[in-house]
Structure 1
Protein backbone atom coordinates (compact mmCIF):
# COMPACT_ATOMS: atom_id res chain seq x y z
CA UNK A 1 0.00 0.00 0.00
CA UNK A 2 1.39 3.38 -1.04
CA UNK A 3 0.76 6.26 1.36
CA UNK A 4 1.36 9.00 -1.22
CA UNK A 5 -1.30 9.52 -3.88
CA UNK A 6 -0.33 9.44 -7.55
CA UNK A 7 -1.47 13.07 -7.90
CA UNK A 8 0.98 14.24 -5.23
CA UNK A 9 3.85 12.80 -7.24
CA UNK A 10 2.71 13.47 -10.81
CA UNK A 11 0.82 16.51 -12.07
CA UNK A 12 -0.55 15.24 -15.40
CA UNK A 13 -1.34 18.80 -16.53
CA UNK A 14 2.36 19.68 -16.19
CA UNK A 15 3.72 16.91 -18.41
CA UNK A 16 5.99 18.42 -21.05
CA UNK A 17 6.03 21.90 -19.49
CA UNK A 18 9.64 21.97 -18.22
CA UNK A 19 8.37 22.32 -14.67
CA UNK A 20 11.14 22.69 -12.11
CA UNK A 21 11.57 19.41 -10.25
CA UNK A 22 11.78 19.89 -6.49
CA UNK A 23 13.61 16.74 -5.46
CA UNK A 24 13.53 17.80 -1.81
CA UNK A 25 9.74 17.54 -1.97
CA UNK A 26 9.90 14.22 -3.83
CA UNK A 27 12.32 12.74 -1.31
CA UNK A 28 10.20 13.99 1.59
CA UNK A 29 7.15 12.22 0.17
CA UNK A 30 9.03 9.01 -0.54
CA UNK A 31 10.50 8.84 2.97
CA UNK A 32 6.94 8.50 4.31
CA UNK A 33 6.56 5.17 2.54
CA UNK A 34 7.08 1.81 4.22
CA UNK A 35 7.73 -0.47 1.26
CA UNK A 36 10.27 -3.29 1.30
CA UNK A 37 13.62 -2.31 -0.21
CA UNK A 38 14.26 -3.54 -3.74
CA UNK A 39 17.11 -5.86 -2.74
CA UNK A 40 14.52 -8.09 -1.01
CA UNK A 41 12.59 -8.75 -4.25
CA UNK A 42 12.42 -12.42 -5.16
CA UNK A 43 11.62 -11.57 -8.77
CA UNK A 44 13.98 -8.98 -10.17
CA UNK A 45 12.17 -6.54 -12.50
CA UNK A 46 13.82 -3.71 -14.45
CA UNK A 47 11.94 -0.80 -15.94
CA UNK A 48 13.97 0.72 -18.78
CA UNK A 49 12.86 4.19 -19.88
CA UNK A 50 14.23 5.25 -23.25
CA UNK A 51 14.90 8.96 -23.84
CA UNK A 52 11.93 10.30 -21.86
CA UNK A 53 13.33 13.81 -22.15
CA UNK A 54 11.92 17.29 -22.67
CA UNK A 55 13.01 17.62 -26.30
CA UNK A 56 10.97 14.52 -27.24
CA UNK A 57 7.81 15.84 -25.62
CA UNK A 58 5.19 17.28 -27.96
CA UNK A 59 6.41 20.88 -27.69
CA UNK A 60 10.08 19.90 -27.68
CA UNK A 61 12.73 20.42 -30.33
CA UNK A 62 12.05 16.95 -31.74
CA UNK A 63 8.54 16.52 -30.39
CA UNK A 64 6.82 13.16 -30.78
CA UNK A 65 3.01 13.37 -31.10
CA UNK A 66 1.46 11.33 -28.29
CA UNK A 67 4.42 11.65 -25.93
CA UNK A 68 2.46 13.37 -23.16
CA UNK A 69 -0.08 10.56 -22.90
CA UNK A 70 2.78 8.06 -23.03
CA UNK A 71 4.33 9.69 -19.96
CA UNK A 72 0.98 9.76 -18.16
CA UNK A 73 0.42 6.05 -18.74
CA UNK A 74 4.03 5.17 -17.94
CA UNK A 75 4.09 7.04 -14.64
CA UNK A 76 0.79 5.41 -13.63
CA UNK A 77 2.28 2.02 -14.48
CA UNK A 78 5.33 2.75 -12.33
CA UNK A 79 3.12 3.95 -9.48
CA UNK A 80 0.84 0.91 -9.63
CA UNK A 81 3.85 -1.42 -9.63
CA UNK A 82 6.08 0.50 -7.26
CA UNK A 83 6.56 -2.50 -4.97
CA UNK A 84 7.27 -4.90 -7.84
CA UNK A 85 9.71 -2.92 -10.00
CA UNK A 86 13.13 -3.60 -8.54
CA UNK A 87 15.16 -1.03 -10.44
CA UNK A 88 14.68 1.77 -12.93
CA UNK A 89 17.19 2.65 -15.64
CA UNK A 90 16.83 5.58 -18.02
CA UNK A 91 18.71 6.61 -21.13
CA UNK A 92 19.58 10.21 -21.88
CA UNK A 93 20.12 11.15 -25.52
CA UNK A 94 22.89 13.74 -25.27
CA UNK A 95 24.38 15.71 -28.16
CA UNK A 96 26.44 18.70 -29.25
CA UNK A 97 25.39 21.07 -32.03
CA UNK A 98 27.96 19.81 -34.52
CA UNK A 99 27.18 16.15 -35.07
CA UNK A 100 26.72 14.20 -38.27
CA UNK A 101 22.91 14.06 -37.98
CA UNK A 102 22.46 17.81 -37.42
CA UNK A 103 22.07 20.39 -40.24
CA UNK A 104 25.35 22.19 -39.49
CA UNK A 105 27.36 19.15 -40.63
CA UNK A 106 26.23 19.32 -44.28
CA UNK A 107 25.82 21.86 -47.10
CA UNK A 108 24.61 21.73 -50.68
CA UNK A 109 26.42 23.23 -53.70
CA UNK A 110 25.13 26.67 -52.70
CA UNK A 111 26.29 26.38 -49.11
CA UNK A 112 22.80 25.84 -47.68
CA UNK A 113 22.27 23.42 -44.82
CA UNK A 114 19.69 20.61 -45.10
CA UNK A 115 16.26 20.95 -43.53
CA UNK A 116 15.31 18.61 -40.66
CA UNK A 117 14.09 15.16 -41.78
CA UNK A 118 16.26 15.29 -44.92
CA UNK A 119 17.53 11.80 -45.76
CA UNK A 120 21.13 11.66 -47.02
CA UNK A 121 22.22 8.63 -49.07
CA UNK A 122 25.49 7.51 -50.61
CA UNK A 123 24.04 8.42 -54.00
CA UNK A 124 23.53 11.98 -52.75
CA UNK A 125 27.17 12.12 -51.75
CA UNK A 126 28.34 10.73 -55.08
CA UNK A 127 26.36 13.45 -56.88
CA UNK A 128 27.56 16.04 -54.32
CA UNK A 129 23.97 16.92 -53.52
CA UNK A 130 25.19 17.11 -49.92
CA UNK A 131 28.77 17.79 -48.87
CA UNK A 132 30.14 17.33 -45.33
CA UNK A 133 31.60 20.50 -43.84
CA UNK A 134 34.14 18.51 -41.83
CA UNK A 135 35.50 14.96 -41.58
CA UNK A 136 34.70 14.43 -45.27
CA UNK A 137 36.18 10.94 -45.68
CA UNK A 138 34.76 9.62 -42.42
CA UNK A 139 31.33 11.16 -43.12
CA UNK A 140 31.09 9.57 -46.55
CA UNK A 141 32.26 6.25 -45.13
CA UNK A 142 29.60 6.45 -42.41
CA UNK A 143 26.73 6.97 -44.86
CA UNK A 144 27.95 4.09 -47.01
CA UNK A 145 28.40 1.75 -44.07
CA UNK A 146 24.85 2.43 -42.86
CA UNK A 147 23.54 1.22 -46.22
CA UNK A 148 25.87 -1.78 -46.36
CA UNK A 149 24.80 -2.90 -42.88
CA UNK A 150 21.10 -2.37 -43.61
CA UNK A 151 20.77 0.29 -40.92
CA UNK A 152 18.44 3.29 -41.12
CA UNK A 153 19.61 5.87 -43.66
CA UNK A 154 21.16 9.02 -42.25
CA UNK A 155 18.36 11.37 -41.23
CA UNK A 156 19.00 15.02 -40.42
CA UNK A 157 17.25 15.94 -37.19
CA UNK A 158 16.48 19.30 -35.59
CA UNK A 159 19.03 20.31 -32.97
CA UNK A 160 17.87 18.40 -29.91
CA UNK A 161 18.99 17.15 -26.49
CA UNK A 162 22.01 19.46 -26.46
CA UNK A 163 24.14 18.76 -23.41
CA UNK A 164 23.43 21.10 -20.52
CA UNK A 165 20.17 22.47 -21.92
CA UNK A 166 16.67 21.93 -20.47
CA UNK A 167 15.74 19.90 -23.55
CA UNK A 168 18.22 17.18 -22.58
CA UNK A 169 16.75 16.74 -19.08
CA UNK A 170 14.31 14.03 -18.07
CA UNK A 171 10.69 15.11 -18.48
CA UNK A 172 9.73 16.63 -15.13
CA UNK A 173 6.83 14.41 -14.05
CA UNK A 174 8.59 11.26 -15.16
CA UNK A 175 11.65 12.45 -13.25
CA UNK A 176 9.57 12.92 -10.12
CA UNK A 177 8.21 9.37 -10.36
CA UNK A 178 11.53 7.60 -10.97
CA UNK A 179 13.24 9.48 -8.15
CA UNK A 180 10.29 8.79 -5.83
CA UNK A 181 10.73 5.09 -6.61
CA UNK A 182 14.46 5.37 -5.93
CA UNK A 183 13.95 6.64 -2.38
CA UNK A 184 10.88 4.54 -1.55
CA UNK A 185 12.57 1.31 -2.67
CA UNK A 186 16.08 2.26 -1.49
CA UNK A 187 17.68 1.83 -4.88
CA UNK A 188 19.57 3.87 -7.44
CA UNK A 189 18.25 5.24 -10.72
CA UNK A 190 20.69 4.02 -13.37
CA UNK A 191 21.26 6.82 -15.91
CA UNK A 192 22.77 5.94 -19.28
CA UNK A 193 24.13 8.79 -21.43
CA UNK A 194 24.22 8.05 -25.16
CA UNK A 195 24.77 9.79 -28.49
CA UNK A 196 27.95 11.80 -27.92
CA UNK A 197 30.03 10.46 -30.83
CA UNK A 198 30.04 13.30 -33.41
CA UNK A 199 30.47 10.82 -36.27
CA UNK A 200 27.59 8.49 -35.53
CA UNK A 201 23.92 8.44 -34.70
CA UNK A 202 23.06 6.35 -31.65
CA UNK A 203 19.39 5.43 -31.55
CA UNK A 204 19.82 2.31 -29.41
CA UNK A 205 21.26 2.38 -25.92
CA UNK A 206 23.80 -0.38 -26.51
CA UNK A 207 25.87 0.88 -29.46
CA UNK A 208 25.91 3.45 -32.30
CA UNK A 209 24.34 2.74 -35.67
CA UNK A 210 27.87 2.38 -37.02
CA UNK A 211 31.27 3.36 -35.70
CA UNK A 212 34.83 2.57 -36.67
CA UNK A 213 35.60 1.45 -33.12
CA UNK A 214 33.67 -1.01 -30.98
CA UNK A 215 31.52 1.13 -28.67
CA UNK A 216 29.23 -1.66 -27.42
CA UNK A 217 28.16 -0.99 -23.82
CA UNK A 218 28.99 -4.42 -22.41
CA UNK A 219 28.43 -3.29 -18.82
CA UNK A 220 24.87 -2.25 -19.62
CA UNK A 221 24.17 -5.59 -21.31
CA UNK A 222 25.40 -7.42 -18.21
CA UNK A 223 23.28 -5.17 -16.01
CA UNK A 224 20.09 -5.78 -18.00
CA UNK A 225 20.62 -9.55 -18.01
CA UNK A 226 20.55 -9.67 -14.19
CA UNK A 227 16.77 -9.18 -14.22
CA UNK A 228 14.04 -11.80 -14.55
CA UNK A 229 11.76 -9.36 -16.40
CA UNK A 230 12.51 -6.18 -18.34
CA UNK A 231 9.80 -3.60 -19.07
CA UNK A 232 10.62 -1.03 -21.76
CA UNK A 233 8.94 2.19 -22.94
CA UNK A 234 9.93 5.67 -24.09
CA UNK A 235 10.47 7.86 -27.15
CA UNK A 236 10.49 7.53 -30.00
CA UNK A 237 8.96 4.14 -30.73
CA UNK A 238 10.22 3.94 -34.32
CA UNK A 239 13.80 4.87 -33.55
CA UNK A 240 15.32 4.89 -30.07
CA UNK A 241 12.92 2.42 -28.42
CA UNK A 242 12.90 -0.03 -31.30
CA UNK A 243 16.66 0.08 -31.85
CA UNK A 244 17.33 -0.33 -28.11
CA UNK A 245 15.14 -3.42 -27.97
CA UNK A 246 16.63 -4.81 -31.18
CA UNK A 247 20.19 -4.41 -29.93
CA UNK A 248 19.36 -6.17 -26.65
CA UNK A 249 17.53 -9.11 -28.21
CA UNK A 250 20.12 -9.62 -30.93
CA UNK A 251 22.86 -9.76 -28.30
CA UNK A 252 20.94 -12.36 -26.27
CA UNK A 253 19.52 -14.22 -29.28
CA UNK A 254 20.67 -17.57 -27.88
CA UNK A 255 18.55 -17.09 -24.75
CA UNK A 256 15.01 -17.14 -26.16
CA UNK A 257 13.51 -18.23 -22.83
CA UNK A 258 14.75 -15.02 -21.20
CA UNK A 259 13.79 -12.85 -24.18
CA UNK A 260 10.15 -13.86 -23.69
CA UNK A 261 10.31 -11.89 -20.44
CA UNK A 262 10.98 -8.61 -22.25
CA UNK A 263 7.79 -6.54 -22.30
CA UNK A 264 7.49 -3.41 -24.43
CA UNK A 265 4.67 -1.07 -23.41
CA UNK A 266 2.75 -0.28 -26.60
CA UNK A 267 0.89 2.57 -24.85
CA UNK A 268 4.09 4.00 -23.40
CA UNK A 269 5.71 5.02 -26.69
CA UNK A 270 4.80 6.84 -29.91
CA UNK A 271 6.14 6.77 -33.45
CA UNK A 272 7.75 9.64 -35.33
CA UNK A 273 5.28 10.61 -38.09
CA UNK A 274 6.16 9.20 -41.48
CA UNK A 275 7.77 6.04 -40.13
CA UNK A 276 4.58 4.18 -39.11
CA UNK A 277 4.57 1.46 -41.78
CA UNK A 278 8.25 0.67 -41.43
CA UNK A 279 7.86 0.70 -37.65
CA UNK A 280 4.97 -1.80 -37.62
CA UNK A 281 6.88 -4.28 -39.80
CA UNK A 282 10.00 -3.94 -37.67
CA UNK A 283 8.19 -4.75 -34.41
CA UNK A 284 6.43 -7.73 -35.98
CA UNK A 285 9.79 -9.14 -37.06
CA UNK A 286 11.24 -8.78 -33.54
CA UNK A 287 8.20 -10.45 -31.98
CA UNK A 288 8.22 -13.31 -34.49
CA UNK A 289 11.97 -13.97 -34.22
CA UNK A 290 12.65 -13.41 -30.54
CA UNK A 291 9.36 -13.81 -28.67
CA UNK A 292 9.37 -10.42 -26.96
CA UNK A 293 5.96 -9.22 -25.84
CA UNK A 294 4.29 -5.99 -26.98
CA UNK A 295 1.63 -5.22 -24.35
CA UNK A 296 -0.41 -2.37 -22.93
CA UNK A 297 0.65 -1.14 -19.52
CA UNK A 298 -2.67 -2.13 -17.94
CA UNK A 299 -2.44 -5.72 -19.20
CA UNK A 300 0.92 -6.75 -17.77
CA UNK A 301 0.88 -8.68 -14.51
CA UNK A 302 4.03 -8.47 -12.45
Structure 2
Protein backbone atom coordinates (compact mmCIF):
# COMPACT_ATOMS: atom_id res chain seq x y z
CA UNK A 1 0.00 0.00 0.00
CA UNK A 2 1.11 3.54 -0.64
CA UNK A 3 -0.25 4.65 2.76
CA UNK A 4 2.18 3.79 5.53
CA UNK A 5 1.07 2.47 8.89
CA UNK A 6 2.42 5.63 10.51
CA UNK A 7 0.28 7.83 8.27
CA UNK A 8 -2.79 6.06 9.54
CA UNK A 9 -1.98 5.36 13.18
CA UNK A 10 -0.30 7.37 15.91
CA UNK A 11 0.39 4.72 18.54
CA UNK A 12 1.26 7.40 21.10
CA UNK A 13 -2.35 8.60 20.95
CA UNK A 14 -4.05 5.26 21.56
CA UNK A 15 -6.66 5.86 24.24
CA UNK A 16 -6.42 9.65 23.97
CA UNK A 17 -9.91 10.37 22.60
CA UNK A 18 -8.34 11.93 19.51
CA UNK A 19 -10.78 13.38 16.98
CA UNK A 20 -11.12 11.08 13.97
CA UNK A 21 -11.09 13.04 10.72
CA UNK A 22 -12.90 10.70 8.34
CA UNK A 23 -12.33 13.07 5.43
CA UNK A 24 -8.60 12.46 5.86
CA UNK A 25 -9.13 8.69 6.12
CA UNK A 26 -11.22 8.58 2.94
CA UNK A 27 -8.66 10.67 1.05
CA UNK A 28 -5.87 8.27 2.01
CA UNK A 29 -7.95 5.21 1.15
CA UNK A 30 -8.87 6.49 -2.30
CA UNK A 31 -5.18 6.54 -3.20
CA UNK A 32 -5.01 2.76 -2.87
CA UNK A 33 -5.70 0.13 -5.49
CA UNK A 34 -6.85 -3.00 -3.66
CA UNK A 35 -9.69 -5.13 -5.02
CA UNK A 36 -13.09 -4.69 -3.37
CA UNK A 37 -14.07 -7.35 -0.86
CA UNK A 38 -16.89 -8.64 -3.06
CA UNK A 39 -14.22 -10.27 -5.22
CA UNK A 40 -12.68 -12.29 -2.38
CA UNK A 41 -12.56 -16.04 -3.03
CA UNK A 42 -12.24 -16.71 0.70
CA UNK A 43 -14.39 -14.60 3.00
CA UNK A 44 -12.58 -13.51 6.16
CA UNK A 45 -14.14 -11.58 9.05
CA UNK A 46 -12.34 -9.58 11.69
CA UNK A 47 -14.56 -9.20 14.75
CA UNK A 48 -13.44 -6.50 17.19
CA UNK A 49 -15.00 -6.77 20.64
CA UNK A 50 -15.71 -3.60 22.63
CA UNK A 51 -12.68 -1.64 21.42
CA UNK A 52 -14.07 1.45 23.12
CA UNK A 53 -12.57 4.29 25.11
CA UNK A 54 -13.92 3.15 28.46
CA UNK A 55 -12.00 -0.14 28.16
CA UNK A 56 -8.71 1.58 27.39
CA UNK A 57 -6.28 1.82 30.29
CA UNK A 58 -7.42 5.26 31.44
CA UNK A 59 -11.10 4.54 30.83
CA UNK A 60 -13.94 4.04 33.29
CA UNK A 61 -13.40 0.26 33.20
CA UNK A 62 -9.83 0.30 31.97
CA UNK A 63 -8.15 -3.01 31.10
CA UNK A 64 -4.39 -3.10 31.74
CA UNK A 65 -2.63 -3.85 28.46
CA UNK A 66 -5.39 -2.48 26.25
CA UNK A 67 -3.14 0.07 24.50
CA UNK A 68 -0.70 -2.57 23.33
CA UNK A 69 -3.60 -4.75 22.22
CA UNK A 70 -4.96 -1.97 20.02
CA UNK A 71 -1.55 -1.36 18.47
CA UNK A 72 -1.17 -5.05 17.57
CA UNK A 73 -4.75 -5.29 16.27
CA UNK A 74 -4.15 -2.28 14.03
CA UNK A 75 -0.94 -3.83 12.66
CA UNK A 76 -2.80 -7.10 12.01
CA UNK A 77 -5.51 -5.25 10.07
CA UNK A 78 -2.96 -3.22 8.13
CA UNK A 79 -0.85 -6.26 7.21
CA UNK A 80 -3.93 -8.21 6.12
CA UNK A 81 -5.87 -5.38 4.47
CA UNK A 82 -6.32 -7.23 1.18
CA UNK A 83 -7.30 -10.52 2.88
CA UNK A 84 -9.86 -9.37 5.46
CA UNK A 85 -13.21 -9.20 3.71
CA UNK A 86 -15.14 -7.30 6.38
CA UNK A 87 -14.65 -5.76 9.81
CA UNK A 88 -17.39 -5.89 12.43
CA UNK A 89 -17.25 -4.28 15.87
CA UNK A 90 -19.35 -4.64 18.99
CA UNK A 91 -20.28 -1.58 21.03
CA UNK A 92 -21.07 -2.10 24.70
CA UNK A 93 -23.86 0.42 25.32
CA UNK A 94 -25.43 1.13 28.71
CA UNK A 95 -27.49 3.54 30.79
CA UNK A 96 -26.76 4.50 34.39
CA UNK A 97 -29.48 2.33 35.92
CA UNK A 98 -28.76 -1.25 34.93
CA UNK A 99 -28.62 -4.36 37.05
CA UNK A 100 -24.79 -4.49 37.05
CA UNK A 101 -24.27 -0.84 38.04
CA UNK A 102 -24.04 0.38 41.67
CA UNK A 103 -27.29 2.37 41.52
CA UNK A 104 -29.35 -0.83 41.18
CA UNK A 105 -28.52 -2.24 44.63
CA UNK A 106 -28.35 -1.09 48.25
CA UNK A 107 -27.33 -2.65 51.56
CA UNK A 108 -29.47 -2.46 54.74
CA UNK A 109 -28.05 1.01 55.41
CA UNK A 110 -29.01 2.27 51.95
CA UNK A 111 -25.44 2.34 50.63
CA UNK A 112 -24.68 1.27 47.08
CA UNK A 113 -22.07 -1.45 46.41
CA UNK A 114 -18.56 -0.55 45.38
CA UNK A 115 -17.44 -1.48 41.87
CA UNK A 116 -16.28 -5.09 41.51
CA UNK A 117 -18.58 -6.29 44.32
CA UNK A 118 -19.92 -9.78 43.59
CA UNK A 119 -23.59 -10.24 44.50
CA UNK A 120 -24.63 -13.86 45.10
CA UNK A 121 -27.97 -15.56 45.64
CA UNK A 122 -26.99 -16.05 49.29
CA UNK A 123 -26.43 -12.30 49.59
CA UNK A 124 -29.94 -11.48 48.38
CA UNK A 125 -31.52 -14.26 50.47
CA UNK A 126 -29.94 -12.81 53.62
CA UNK A 127 -30.64 -9.19 52.75
CA UNK A 128 -27.01 -8.20 52.30
CA UNK A 129 -27.99 -6.54 49.01
CA UNK A 130 -31.45 -5.47 47.94
CA UNK A 131 -32.46 -4.31 44.46
CA UNK A 132 -33.74 -0.75 44.16
CA UNK A 133 -35.64 -1.61 40.98
CA UNK A 134 -37.71 -4.62 39.90
CA UNK A 135 -37.11 -6.76 42.99
CA UNK A 136 -38.57 -10.02 41.67
CA UNK A 137 -36.81 -9.81 38.30
CA UNK A 138 -33.50 -8.83 39.91
CA UNK A 139 -33.43 -11.60 42.50
CA UNK A 140 -34.47 -14.16 39.89
CA UNK A 141 -31.62 -12.98 37.67
CA UNK A 142 -28.98 -13.43 40.38
CA UNK A 143 -30.23 -16.93 41.15
CA UNK A 144 -30.56 -18.00 37.54
CA UNK A 145 -26.95 -17.00 36.83
CA UNK A 146 -25.80 -19.51 39.41
CA UNK A 147 -28.23 -22.24 38.37
CA UNK A 148 -27.10 -21.94 34.74
CA UNK A 149 -23.41 -21.82 35.64
CA UNK A 150 -22.90 -18.29 34.32
CA UNK A 151 -20.58 -15.71 35.83
CA UNK A 152 -21.97 -14.36 39.12
CA UNK A 153 -23.30 -10.82 39.10
CA UNK A 154 -20.42 -8.34 39.25
CA UNK A 155 -21.06 -4.68 39.94
CA UNK A 156 -19.08 -2.69 37.40
CA UNK A 157 -18.07 0.97 37.43
CA UNK A 158 -20.39 3.09 35.31
CA UNK A 159 -19.05 2.58 31.80
CA UNK A 160 -19.94 2.89 28.12
CA UNK A 161 -22.89 5.13 28.89
CA UNK A 162 -24.75 5.78 25.66
CA UNK A 163 -23.86 9.13 24.12
CA UNK A 164 -20.64 9.65 26.10
CA UNK A 165 -17.09 9.62 24.69
CA UNK A 166 -16.37 6.48 26.71
CA UNK A 167 -18.83 4.51 24.59
CA UNK A 168 -17.13 5.49 21.31
CA UNK A 169 -14.63 3.37 19.40
CA UNK A 170 -11.04 4.02 20.42
CA UNK A 171 -9.83 6.62 17.94
CA UNK A 172 -6.78 4.90 16.41
CA UNK A 173 -8.69 1.66 15.92
CA UNK A 174 -11.57 3.66 14.43
CA UNK A 175 -9.16 5.14 11.89
CA UNK A 176 -7.96 1.72 10.79
CA UNK A 177 -11.41 0.14 10.71
CA UNK A 178 -12.89 2.92 8.60
CA UNK A 179 -9.83 2.96 6.31
CA UNK A 180 -10.48 -0.73 5.67
CA UNK A 181 -14.15 -0.10 4.90
CA UNK A 182 -13.28 2.46 2.23
CA UNK A 183 -10.35 0.64 0.72
CA UNK A 184 -12.28 -2.66 0.44
CA UNK A 185 -15.58 -0.97 -0.52
CA UNK A 186 -17.52 -2.51 2.34
CA UNK A 187 -19.45 -1.34 5.40
CA UNK A 188 -18.06 -1.34 8.93
CA UNK A 189 -20.67 -3.42 10.77
CA UNK A 190 -21.52 -2.08 14.24
CA UNK A 191 -23.15 -4.40 16.77
CA UNK A 192 -24.78 -2.63 19.72
CA UNK A 193 -25.12 -4.77 22.83
CA UNK A 194 -25.91 -4.38 26.51
CA UNK A 195 -28.91 -2.05 26.55
CA UNK A 196 -31.24 -4.44 28.44
CA UNK A 197 -31.44 -3.04 31.99
CA UNK A 198 -32.19 -6.46 33.49
CA UNK A 199 -29.22 -8.43 32.24
CA UNK A 200 -25.50 -8.28 31.64
CA UNK A 201 -24.47 -9.04 28.07
CA UNK A 202 -20.84 -10.02 27.80
CA UNK A 203 -21.08 -12.00 24.57
CA UNK A 204 -22.49 -10.41 21.43
CA UNK A 205 -24.99 -13.20 20.72
CA UNK A 206 -27.20 -13.21 23.83
CA UNK A 207 -27.42 -11.94 27.43
CA UNK A 208 -26.05 -13.92 30.36
CA UNK A 209 -29.65 -14.71 31.27
CA UNK A 210 -32.96 -13.31 30.14
CA UNK A 211 -36.57 -14.38 30.69
CA UNK A 212 -37.19 -14.12 26.96
CA UNK A 213 -35.05 -15.50 24.15
CA UNK A 214 -32.81 -12.67 22.95
CA UNK A 215 -30.45 -14.80 20.85
CA UNK A 216 -29.30 -12.73 17.88
CA UNK A 217 -29.84 -15.30 15.13
CA UNK A 218 -29.41 -12.73 12.38
CA UNK A 219 -25.91 -11.99 13.67
CA UNK A 220 -25.09 -15.70 13.89
CA UNK A 221 -26.15 -16.15 10.27
CA UNK A 222 -23.96 -13.19 9.27
CA UNK A 223 -20.90 -14.63 11.02
CA UNK A 224 -21.41 -18.05 9.45
CA UNK A 225 -21.15 -16.50 5.97
CA UNK A 226 -17.38 -16.27 6.47
CA UNK A 227 -14.78 -18.98 5.93
CA UNK A 228 -12.52 -17.68 8.71
CA UNK A 229 -13.15 -15.44 11.70
CA UNK A 230 -10.48 -13.52 13.62
CA UNK A 231 -11.49 -12.12 17.01
CA UNK A 232 -9.82 -9.72 19.45
CA UNK A 233 -10.74 -6.91 21.82
CA UNK A 234 -11.64 -6.28 25.45
CA UNK A 235 -11.89 -7.71 27.92
CA UNK A 236 -10.45 -11.16 27.29
CA UNK A 237 -11.92 -12.66 30.46
CA UNK A 238 -15.45 -11.47 29.82
CA UNK A 239 -16.71 -10.08 26.52
CA UNK A 240 -14.16 -11.72 24.21
CA UNK A 241 -14.34 -15.13 25.84
CA UNK A 242 -18.13 -15.16 26.10
CA UNK A 243 -18.48 -14.07 22.48
CA UNK A 244 -16.27 -16.91 21.28
CA UNK A 245 -18.02 -19.41 23.53
CA UNK A 246 -21.48 -18.38 22.34
CA UNK A 247 -20.49 -18.63 18.67
CA UNK A 248 -18.71 -21.97 19.12
CA UNK A 249 -21.58 -23.48 21.09
CA UNK A 250 -24.10 -22.45 18.46
CA UNK A 251 -22.08 -24.06 15.67
CA UNK A 252 -21.01 -27.10 17.69
CA UNK A 253 -22.31 -29.42 14.97
CA UNK A 254 -19.81 -27.97 12.48
CA UNK A 255 -16.39 -28.46 14.06
CA UNK A 256 -14.66 -28.04 10.71
CA UNK A 257 -15.89 -24.45 10.78
CA UNK A 258 -15.27 -23.72 14.49
CA UNK A 259 -11.64 -24.70 13.88
CA UNK A 260 -11.50 -21.61 11.67
CA UNK A 261 -12.17 -19.30 14.62
CA UNK A 262 -8.87 -17.59 15.43
CA UNK A 263 -8.53 -15.57 18.63
CA UNK A 264 -5.64 -13.09 18.70
CA UNK A 265 -4.21 -13.75 22.14
CA UNK A 266 -1.97 -10.69 21.93
CA UNK A 267 -4.98 -8.55 20.96
CA UNK A 268 -6.85 -8.88 24.26
CA UNK A 269 -6.21 -8.60 28.00
CA UNK A 270 -7.91 -9.84 31.16
CA UNK A 271 -9.61 -7.84 33.85
CA UNK A 272 -7.22 -8.35 36.79
CA UNK A 273 -8.16 -11.23 39.05
CA UNK A 274 -9.74 -13.39 36.35
CA UNK A 275 -6.58 -14.67 34.67
CA UNK A 276 -6.43 -18.19 36.11
CA UNK A 277 -10.04 -19.16 35.53
CA UNK A 278 -9.90 -17.58 32.07
CA UNK A 279 -6.92 -19.70 31.01
CA UNK A 280 -8.85 -22.85 31.96
CA UNK A 281 -11.94 -21.63 30.11
CA UNK A 282 -9.98 -21.03 26.89
CA UNK A 283 -8.46 -24.49 27.08
CA UNK A 284 -11.94 -25.98 27.36
CA UNK A 285 -13.01 -24.19 24.17
CA UNK A 286 -9.89 -25.38 22.37
CA UNK A 287 -10.47 -28.97 23.45
CA UNK A 288 -14.19 -29.00 22.67
CA UNK A 289 -14.48 -26.88 19.53
CA UNK A 290 -10.97 -26.61 18.12
CA UNK A 291 -10.85 -22.82 18.24
CA UNK A 292 -7.31 -21.48 17.88
CA UNK A 293 -5.47 -18.94 20.02
CA UNK A 294 -2.78 -17.33 17.88
CA UNK A 295 -0.24 -14.50 17.93
CA UNK A 296 -1.29 -11.71 15.56
CA UNK A 297 2.22 -11.39 14.12
CA UNK A 298 2.47 -15.12 13.39
CA UNK A 299 -0.74 -15.67 11.50
CA UNK A 300 -1.86 -14.41 8.12
CA UNK A 301 -5.49 -14.18 7.07
CA UNK A 302 -5.71 -16.14 3.82
Which blocks of at least 5 consecutive residues in structure 1 are unaligned?
none
C-alpha distance in structure 1 between counterparts of 2:298 and 2:261, whole Å:
14
* Equivalence for 2:241: 242
C-alpha distance in structure 1 between counterparts of 2:40 and 2:227, whole Å:
11
C-alpha distance in structure 2 between counterparts of 1:18 and 1:41, whole Å:
34
Which residues in structure 2 correspond to 1:66-215 (within 5 Å)?
66-215=65-214
Q: Deviations over 1:82-114 (max 9, x none)?
A: 000000000000000000000000000000000
Instruction: Look up the SS of the partner of 2:219 in the other structure.
Output: helix
Residue 212 of structure 1 deviates from its aligned partner by 0.5
* Equivalence for 2:260: 261
Instruction: Look up the SS of the partner of 1:222 in the other structure.
Output: helix
C-alpha distance in structure 1 between counterparts of 2:212 and 2:195, whole Å:
14
Which residues in structure 2 correspond to 1:50-61 (within 5 Å)?
50-61=49-60
* Equivalence for 1:296: 295
Residue 299 of structure 1 deviates from its aligned partner by 1.2
TM-score, scaled relative to structure 1: 0.99
C-alpha distance in structure 1 between counterparts of 2:198 and 2:168, whole Å:
23
Residue 300 of structure 1 deviates from its aligned partner by 1.0
C-alpha distance in structure 1 between counterparts of 2:211 and 2:32, whole Å:
48
Q: Considering only aligned residues, what root-mean-square deviation do their CA atoms show, in Å?
A: 0.4
C-alpha distance in structure 2 between counterparts of 1:104 and 1:263, whole Å:
38
Contact 2:194–2:200 (CA under 8 A) maintained in structure 1: yes
Instruction: Look up the SS of the partner of 2:239 in the other structure.
Output: helix
C-alpha distance in structure 2 between counterparts of 1:46 and 1:301, whole Å:
13
C-alpha distance in structure 1 between counterparts of 2:256 and 2:264, whole Å:
19
Instruction: Look up the SS of the partner of 2:90 in the other structure.
Output: strand
C-alpha distance in structure 2 between counterparts of 1:32 and 1:299, whole Å:
28
Q: Deviations over 1:61-94 (max 9, x none)?
A: 0000000000000000000000000000000000
* Equivalence for 1:278: 277
TM-score, scaled relative to structure 2: 0.99
C-alpha distance in structure 1 between counterparts of 2:83 and 2:245, whole Å:
25
Which blocks of at least 5 consecutive residues in structure 2 are unaligned?
none
Instruction: Look up the SS of the partner of 2:297 in the other structure.
Output: coil
Aligned length: 301
C-alpha distance in structure 2 between counterparts of 1:8 and 1:102, whole Å:
40
Contact 2:54–2:160 (CA under 8 A) maintained in structure 1: yes
2:14 is equivalent to residue 15 of structure 1: yes
Q: Deviations over 1:129-185 (max 9, x none)?
A: 000001000000000000000000000000000000000000000000000000000
Q: Deviations over 1:225-267 (max 9, x none)?
A: 0000000000000000000000000000000000110000000
C-alpha distance in structure 1 between counterparts of 2:125 and 2:41, whole Å:
57
Contact 2:105–2:112 (CA under 8 A) maintained in structure 1: yes
2:67 is equivalent to residue 65 of structure 1: no
